[in-house]
Structure 1
Amino acid sequence: MTILLFAAVALVVLALLVLVHRWLWIRLVRDTAAPGTRTRRAGTALAFALPLLAVAALVAGRAGAPFWLQRTVAWPGFMWLAVLLYLSLAMLVAEPVRAVWLRRMRRRPAPAQEVRAPVPVVETVTAGSASGASEAPETPVPPAGPAAPAGQTPEARAALSRRRFARTVAGAAGAVAVGTVGYGTYGVLRGPRVKRVQVPLAKLPRAGHGFRIAVVSDIHLGPILGRAHTARIVETINRTQPDLIAVVGDLVDGTVHDLGPAAEPLRHLRARHGSYFVTGNHEYFSGAAPWVEHVRELGLMPLENARRPLPYFDLAGVNDVAGESEGQGPDFEAALGDRDRARTAVLLAHQPIVIDEAVRHGVDLQLSGHTHGGQLWPGNYIAELANPTVAGLERYGDTQLYVSRGAGAWGPPVRVGAPSDITIVELVSYQA
């Protein structure tokens, strides 16, 4: 059933890609360039090549392609997907403008045809002519004007006007799309910013007031984001001098063999009470067990459906729900079932959707990621359909849920309307 569902979704995505590229080819190539021109041929070639690159970027990792090939297709393929989104949105906005302009063009009266006045011929009688016959003098005839080029016929002029308008629209839409994606890429490659949130907890003892947890999720090391990205994140976290570091899933998009060097800077994370890790859904796409062992070697403590008592609260972690397909899903009883409910409980869980189980088990605070805050606007509206909270802090009964937007990006290294973050969650005691 899962394979059939995946195949159905893949077919829908492919069909959508074909339809969108066909529509953009009409608007950006056919409407702007005359048949047979070099521009039209180049645009048509790109209309075939770009979607193929995008599909290759999406499937290369899952298909087990060599890592060098994944890196080769990732940048152009994923970046085109981001440009495609905002180019399509810009062209959709331009469609009503185009319709109004074409309607006005059709209503405009055709220009009057230019009529040449005939050249008069004057007859004269030549003196001394024996017959007295009249002869036309050899008066020079004005040369005929140049033949009107084909582009000057009313139909051709209208076609040229339509192409000029289409080029203007296409240029404006392209500038908007490229500018948006460029700014969003800069935001990701610059590295996440630090966000600070205070969370009051009723059962937290006074001694725990001000305890700071650095929450980082969705780093997404892969064919695009590598070792430099990890180093920026580690440096940013260490500058905040947290009491505890929580890496809440989706660390990688690839195998330990390919991405082990990219994860190496995690070895330098520093916190008074240590660094902890729980799996995300992408770890199960890449081999969760090897990554759990590797992060342990890097000095992080994996919490696989486990709990660790800390001085002021219990810290628990559960596997991601994607692990259920491998028999390694979340087990809340193992992590929380026998704990003392008089103590504060903080739960690390990659996906916000497990909040109901957290409430049922008396968790005071759940820390999650997964949503990326939507990553690419208007993706936040889609994320809201699948997640109880997309970003920020919300309360569910006696349990509070904080969802980070994440420190990296999946697919295109672009964020629009959902800046990346590392959150310092400061615990506040009511007794302080």
Structure 2
Amino acid sequence: MARENDLAGRARSIGRGLAVTAAVGAAAGAAATGYGLWEKNQFVLREETLPVLPAGFGPFRVLHLSDIHFVPGQDTKAEWLASLAELKPDLVVNTGDNLSHTKAVDPVLAALRPLMEFPGVFVPGSNDYFAPRLKNPAGYLLGPSSVPKDPGTLDWPRLRAGFGMAGWVDLTNRCQSVVLKGLRFDFSGVDDPHLGLEQYAGWPRGTTGQDATPHLRVAVVHAPYQRVLDHFTEDGADLLLAGHTHGGQICLPGYGALLANCDIPTWRAKGLNNWESNGRTTPVNVSGGIGTSRFAPIRIACRPEAVLLTLTSRS
């Protein structure tokens, strides 16, 4: 009898321990979710300086936007986006995933209208074409997200037209030269590699001997898959701008991103670093992004960001 009482007591003790553990875990999860909901609106501006311009040119300020994932009613985000016009950039580069809702085109264009007063270029991401879906966030830990089989279609043609009417240059599998502050910028962009839509257009070709005149080659892409970084690096890009990763979105303090949602190493999921391929090197800026999927609206240890790159002379 004593033995049975002892076993029963131990069972009750284990049960209480499990209940306490579950309660603590639930409380910690709720606290983390609450923090993540708060952090997603703690917008920051990351500033970088990069000596890539030909001698005698610069400084030149590039505002890099990516992964806005706009949802109607995101007034704080809209106000912050509009306020970036106070930076007076020389160029705005938008690397895609502007939308996260079928009714987001008009409000995101309104939020970006002050910035569309400046020269700009853009490429699309998958969430400019397809609406996000409700799914298990843990699936991202198993590898890059899959292409939806029956996705909701977003009004990318109208968003692209809005950008184009403002004078921003569409670089979807295209190349184009633009003269800015007296320097020729040669742009080359691709459609979203996450969807396997990239087709390389090379660099703009003009007059004979154009490569002998001062210029800068800038590659623009949404998802920084290694095959794309390799191509543009080997093809002589002076700078490559990308997004897509959200900087990992949920990171461990002191460690960083747990995933990149593509095949680059997680330590490259956000920031400015060099990519090397076949003996050539290109600086790559991967934006940590401004938004989240509306079905996973949290960020932890990874604040939403725009990036201001100040380009200076190489010498």
Q: TM-score category by the smaller chain?
A: 0.7 to 0.9
Secondary structure in 1 matching 2:47: strand
Question: 1:357: which partner in 2?
Answer: 231
- Residue 293 of structure 1, CA deviation: 1.2
What CA distance in whole angstroms lies between the structure 2 residues aligned with 1:239 and 1:174? 43
Counterpart AA for 2:218: V
Counterpart AA for 1:194: L
More strand as a share of residues = 2
What CA distance in whole angstroms lies between the structure 2 residues aligned with 1:111 and 1:332? 83
2:126 to 251, 271, 281: 281
What CA distance in whole angstroms lies between the structure 1 residues aligned with 2:230 and 2:79? 35
1:303-331 deviations in Å (ceiling 9; x for gaps): 33131322324151423235977xx6433
Question: 1:266: which partner in 2?
Answer: 112
User: 1:212 touches 1:426 (CA, 8 Å); kept in 2?
Assistant: yes
2:56 to 195, 206, 227: 206
Secondary structure in 1 matching 2:205: coil
Distance 1:296 1:160, change over 3 A: same
- Residue 219 of structure 1, CA deviation: 0.5
- Residue 287 of structure 1, CA deviation: 4.5
Question: 1:400: which partner in 2?
Answer: 283
Distance 1:287 1:321, change over 3 A: same
2:69 to 196, 213, 220: 220
Which stretch of structure 1 is more off in the superposition, 175-184 or 419-428? Answer: 175-184
What CA distance in whole angstroms lies between the structure 1 residues aligned with 2:162 and 2:116? 17
What CA distance in whole angstroms lies between the structure 2 residues aligned with 1:321 and 1:260? 19
What CA distance in whole angstroms lies between the structure 1 residues aligned with 2:21 and 2:296? 25
1:171 to 12, 16, 23: 23
What CA distance in whole angstroms lies between the structure 2 residues aligned with 1:199 and 1:387? 22
1:338 to 205, 221, 226: 205
TM-score scaled by length of structure 1: 0.56
Secondary structure in 1 matching 2:40: helix
Larger Rg: 1
| 2:263 is equivalent to residue 386 of structure 1 | yes
Question: 2:300: which partner in 1?
Answer: 416
Higher normalized contact order (CA 8 Å, seq sep 6+, divided by chain length): 2
- Residue 426 of structure 1, CA deviation: 0.7
- Residue 363 of structure 1, CA deviation: 1.0
Distance 1:315 1:409, change over 3 A: farther
Structural mapping, 1:50-89, within 5 Å = none
Question: 2:86: which partner in 1?
Answer: 239
Question: 1:302: which partner in 2?
Answer: 170
User: 1:332 touches 1:357 (CA, 8 Å); kept in 2?
Assistant: no
Unaligned stretches of 5+ residues in structure 2: 131-153
TM-score scaled by length of structure 2: 0.75
- Residue 155 of structure 1, CA deviation: 4.9
Question: 1:197: which partner in 2?
Answer: 48
Report the number of matched residues: 271
Distance 1:262 1:155, change over 3 A: farther
- Residue 375 of structure 1, CA deviation: 0.9
- Residue 366 of structure 1, CA deviation: 0.6
Counterpart AA for 1:364: D
- Residue 188 of structure 1, CA deviation: 0.9
Distance 1:170 1:425, change over 3 A: same
Which stretch of structure 1 is more off in the superposition, 412-421 or 385-394? Answer: 385-394
Unaligned stretches of 5+ residues in structure 1: 1-109, 114-152
Between the aligned residues of both structures, percent identity stands at: 24
User: 2:190 touches 2:220 (CA, 8 Å); kept in 1?
Assistant: no
Question: 1:292: which partner in 2?
Answer: 160
Secondary structure in 1 matching 2:199: coil
1:117-140 deviations in Å (ceiling 9; x for gaps): xxxxxxxxxxxxxxxxxxxxxxxx
What CA distance in whole angstroms lies between the structure 2 residues aligned with 1:282 and 1:270? 21
More helix as a share of residues = 1
- Residue 189 of structure 1, CA deviation: 2.2
What CA distance in whole angstroms lies between the structure 1 residues aligned with 2:223 and 2:3? 69
What CA distance in whole angstroms lies between the structure 2 residues aligned with 1:341 and 1:179? 56
Question: 1:428: which partner in 2?
Answer: 312
1:150-183 deviations in Å (ceiling 9; x for gaps): xxx5454333322221121112212222222221
Question: 1:35: which partner in 2?
Answer: none
Question: 1:146: which partner in 2?
Answer: none
